[in-house]
Structure 1
Amino acid sequence: MITRLVGALALSTALCASLPTFAQDQDLAAPDRIGLSSAPNKLVVRLTGDSPGNTDPDIAAGYKDLFVAFIKKHPEWQLQLQIQTQDIGTEQAKMLEQAKSGNAPDCAAVDSFVLGQFKANNVLSDFTPYFSKEEIADLFPFVREGISGADGEIYAWWWDTDLRVLYRNKSIVPDAPQTWDDLKKAALASKDQGMEGVLFNGGRWEGTTFDWLANYWSLGGKLVDDSGKPVFGDDDNKSKFLEAVNYFKDLVDSGAAPKRVATIVTYDDLAAAAAAGTTALFIGGSWQNAQLESTLDPDMFADWTFSHIPGPTPDDHKTGTGGWTIASFSKDPQKVEMCADLVRDIYMGPANALQQQLPTRASLYDKYPVFSTPANKEFAADLADGQARPGAPIYPEISNQIQIMMGDVLSGSKSPEDALSAAYNASLEAYDRL
């Protein structure tokens, strides 16, 4: 009997020793790892700043707590973290090539605007088994469409969305501009008070295309047809495209926007100008309201507000809706499920609340008090005017060509007509190579 008891105790000790244990959270979080370094299973996770790698210490700490709580539920796993740079286009293109060669991370953040490329190349694992029909039905229609494949299955989870708005210092610009002409007048008037006019992204990156597209969409313009072929330079869309380009060109030529907008390639520059008191107007993302609130003194923040991006007429205005997805490239069912669990425990609600990133599920707006604030209620209402970038595989190249075109037009090196012709022809050539 004693022999059997000793044997049982030895077996119990051996089993316990084989499982990772947590002692006061020691060794659970490192810059490139979440979980014990001795955990036998590894999941390579490549994320953006929506992670413990966020540059804001408070947000980084919040994510660290979420990730540590998650890994405590999965003690046999460790997450090997990789943080993407802010060069979104390059990062996503690199990851697509890795996925096609079988070298992609197990679980990763994929920008919604390139998700179509990943789906078209059949490199994403099926997420459908890990989310209920009710959860999928709760997604905004444009989100549900974006993550679904031709077979009706879902291949990512689009967890946050955003929109573009016009921020203004109401002590300098008291009334919200309703039209393009209104914005130009307000920007010029702000210069009389020492400001530099309206700021927006105009350099070589995705933000430039996306922020400007609201103007093209407000005219009814289309980028691609139902087959995914570029059409923005055809007979039906060319005049609308040129009208929207000339609007931005006129802002720069008139001095309503400084020439330096052609070099702006990050939303942080826009918020920094607001904090420095050098601008009273900028086109930015919905998430920047919380950024301004945390950055500015309360009295200074009280002067800032936002409104919808002006359109050519008061009744014609659009805004771009973006956001990030989480997807799995792994062929190992355990890793795919682990990636889906990561989405469920961290990104389906808690991360939205942490960063005030707008949820993609309608029910979450009532679940988290932060989304009942007047600002977030207004953002949610403005999603009715939102338009997502087309999920066509050619979109990234169209965006690239628009970025080049915008630089040529705003710098004056090409006429809008010549720049459009070059962008359209290059996009068609790229489409033929797909």
Structure 2
Amino acid sequence: MKSATVSALALSTVLFSASAIFAQELASKDRIGLADAAKTLVVRLTNDSPNNSDPAIAEGYQKLFVEFIKKHPEWKLQMQFMSSDIGTEQAKMLEQAKAGNAPDCAAVDSFVLSQFMVNKVLADFTPYFSKEEVDDLFPFIRAGITDKDQTVRAWWWDTDLRVLYRNKSIVADAPETWDDLKKAALASTKEGMEGVLFNGGRWEGTTFDWLANYWALGGKLVDDSGKPVFGEGENKEKFLKALNYFKDLVDSGAAPKRVSTIANYDDMNAAAAAGTTALFIGGNWQYAQLKTTLDEDEFANWTFSPIPGPTADQRSTGTGGWTIASFSKDKDKIEMCANLAREVYMGPANALQQQLPTRKSLFDKYEVFSTEANKTFAQALVNGQARPGVPIYPEISNQIQIMMGDVLSGTKKPEEALDAAFSAAMEAYKRL
């Protein structure tokens, strides 16, 4: 009996070792799958991958990728990873795609997806996703991944939104309007806080977070043809109203002057941890980060609510996220890329990183999204607004970033800064 037990244990050890060795053979720093696999898919990803800086997330992704490749043993994934300079990475990849030497499958930021569509470099994903799956997407997601012919050109797998975070022990009630937020922020300064924080430095987050205020007024950045219109007529009036609102927050002391240099959501987390702010505008993902960063008692004081609008009934929030798309002309590679989007990213990766799904039904499928916080986020996504899917948007954003820096620092008056931004955007539009 003892001999049989020892033999069983020995066999178990051998099988475990063989399994571990096999797993190692299937995964290296730049490859998933057997090195001698018959087919290769070149994949370029962000840190939403085994390259994640968080060891636990990286390990989780590696497991997902290894399980994926086990279902497709004739393939190996040749992995490439982008730097943190996403704007440059996406621009470079677009040029590669136009020249015909882009990766077979890649992560494409949702706000530049339209540029890839306009240049007709994206493969057709329509055959690989059912009508039910497409219909299950939030409206802005569905609109973002389909071209004018309703062809699915990418799969948008995760999304996010912006909210107002507050420390309940200092700001008890959720501000509903711009005036409410100003009053709450000024009151918090009397408690030793620095007021409300938000992105105001030179990066995309500054534009995107502020746009919620402009959109709440009904303002438009471009017309139906993709031409900039934010600096003329009623749109200009609304734009100036939203811009002056942010300027007044700084001028009144409701927001510190340093917001003109904030260009990272981590700055807000750090301020919350240091106890120097009770209010900040940030992304939904920061809720989990605060839970990890703060002591349990401190975290219990923090909550979130919709971004205040000019009135309680005028609200908007920006929504972003990442897509998986194929640049290949090989049908097998296109299908394999779609499989990667479906089997790794559409659900499993959402749950792994607690990144909001783009399909309504997935909030019920995964327990992590059943929390009250995530249910609230899901409700807000129904009315989320994505950046306009037009080629001129990146330059509009660039000009708004410059404008915001000039206005918040006092270098230029709002209308002067707006006129300069609109003029530059129009000149860029003419060159498209």
Q: TM-score, normalised by structure 2?
A: 0.92
Q: Which amino acid in 2 is paired with 1:319? A: T
Counterpart Cα distance in 2 of 1:31 and 1:299: 40
Q: Is the 8 A contact 1:167 1:305 kept in 2?
A: yes
Q: Is the 8 A contact 2:163 2:283 kept in 1?
A: yes
Instruction: Name the counterpart of 1:45.
Output: 43
Corresponding residue to 2:386 among 385, 388, 409: 388
Identity, % of aligned pairs? 76
Task: Tell me the CA shift for residue 147 of structure 1.
Answer: 0.6
Task: Tell me the CA shift for residue 172 of structure 1.
Answer: 1.5
Instruction: Name the counterpart of 2:256.
Output: 258
Instruction: Name the counterpart of 2:217.
Output: 219
Q: Which amino acid in 1 is paired with 2:272? A: A
Q: What are the within-5 Å matches in structure 2 for residues 274-293 of structure 1?
A: 274-293=272-291
Matched residue of 2:270: which SS?
helix
Task: Tell me the CA shift for residue 32 of structure 1.
Answer: 2.6
Task: Tell me the CA shift for residue 22 of structure 1.
Answer: 8.3
How big is the alpha-carbon RMSD for the aligned residues of Structure 1 and Structure 2?
1.6
Q: What are the within-5 Å matches in structure 2 for residues 314-325 of structure 1?
A: 314-325=312-323
Counterpart Cα distance in 2 of 1:358 and 1:23: 34
Answering whether residue 169 of structure 2 is matched by residue 177 of structure 1, we say: no
Task: Tell me the CA shift for residue 79 of structure 1.
Answer: 1.9
Answering whether residue 309 of structure 2 is matched by residue 311 of structure 1, we say: yes
Task: Tell me the CA shift for residue 299 of structure 1.
Answer: 1.5
Corresponding residue to 1:152 among 144, 150, 153: 150
Instruction: Name the counterpart of 2:325.
Output: 327
Counterpart Cα distance in 1 of 2:55 and 2:192: 33
> For structure 2, which runs of at least 5 residues remain unmatched after alignment?
1-18
**Which deviations, in whole Å up to 9, do the C-alpha atoms of 1:261-280 show, x marking residues without a partner?**
22222212222222222221
Task: Tell me the CA shift for residue 38 of structure 1.
Answer: 3.4
Corresponding residue to 2:73 among 72, 75, 82: 75
Counterpart Cα distance in 2 of 1:309 and 1:64: 36
**Which deviations, in whole Å up to 9, do the C-alpha atoms of 1:98-153 show, x marking residues without a partner?**
21112222111111111111100001111111111221121122111111112221
Instruction: Name the counterpart of 1:10.
Output: none
CA gap of 1:155–1:197, structure 2 versus 1, over 3 A, is same
Instruction: Name the counterpart of 1:238.
Output: 236
Q: Is the 8 A contact 2:110 2:144 kept in 1?
A: yes
**Which deviations, in whole Å up to 9, do the C-alpha atoms of 1:265-306 show, x marking residues without a partner?**
221222222222222111111111112222222222111100
**Which deviations, in whole Å up to 9, do the C-alpha atoms of 1:14-64 show, x marking residues without a partner?**
xxxxxxx98441233333322233334322222122112222222222111
Q: Is the 8 A contact 1:89 1:205 kept in 2?
A: no
Task: Tell me the CA shift for residue 179 of structure 1.
Answer: 1.1
Instruction: Name the counterpart of 1:63.
Output: 61
> Mean alpha-carbon deviation: is it higher for 288-297 or for 145-154?
288-297
Counterpart Cα distance in 2 of 1:219 and 1:184: 18
Counterpart Cα distance in 2 of 1:253 and 1:82: 46
Answering whether residue 77 of structure 2 is matched by residue 94 of structure 1, we say: no
Q: Which amino acid in 2 is paired with 1:394? A: I
Q: Is the 8 A contact 1:88 1:206 kept in 2?
A: no
Instruction: Name the counterpart of 2:188.
Output: 190
Counterpart Cα distance in 1 of 2:200 and 2:78: 35
> Mean alpha-carbon deviation: is it higher for 156-165 or for 289-298?
289-298
Instruction: Name the counterpart of 1:126.
Output: 124
**Which deviations, in whole Å up to 9, do the C-alpha atoms of 1:359-414 show, x marking residues without a partner?**
11111121111111100111111123311111112111111111111111112111
Task: Tell me the CA shift for residue 86 of structure 1.
Answer: 2.9
Q: TM-score, normalised by structure 1?
A: 0.92
CA gap of 1:58–1:22, structure 2 versus 1, over 3 A, is closer
Q: Which amino acid in 2 is paired with 1:409? A: V
Q: Is the 8 A contact 1:34 1:81 kept in 2?
A: yes
Instruction: Name the counterpart of 1:6.
Output: none
> For structure 1, which runs of at least 5 residues remain unmatched after alignment?
1-20
Answering whether residue 32 of structure 2 is matched by residue 34 of structure 1, we say: yes
Instruction: Name the counterpart of 2:14.
Output: none
**Which deviations, in whole Å up to 9, do the C-alpha atoms of 1:218-239 show, x marking residues without a partner?**
1110011111111001112111
Instruction: Name the counterpart of 2:163.
Output: 165
Matched residue of 2:60: which SS?
helix
Counterpart Cα distance in 2 of 1:304 and 1:379: 16
Matched residue of 1:162: which SS?
strand
Q: Is the 8 A contact 1:42 1:77 kept in 2?
A: yes
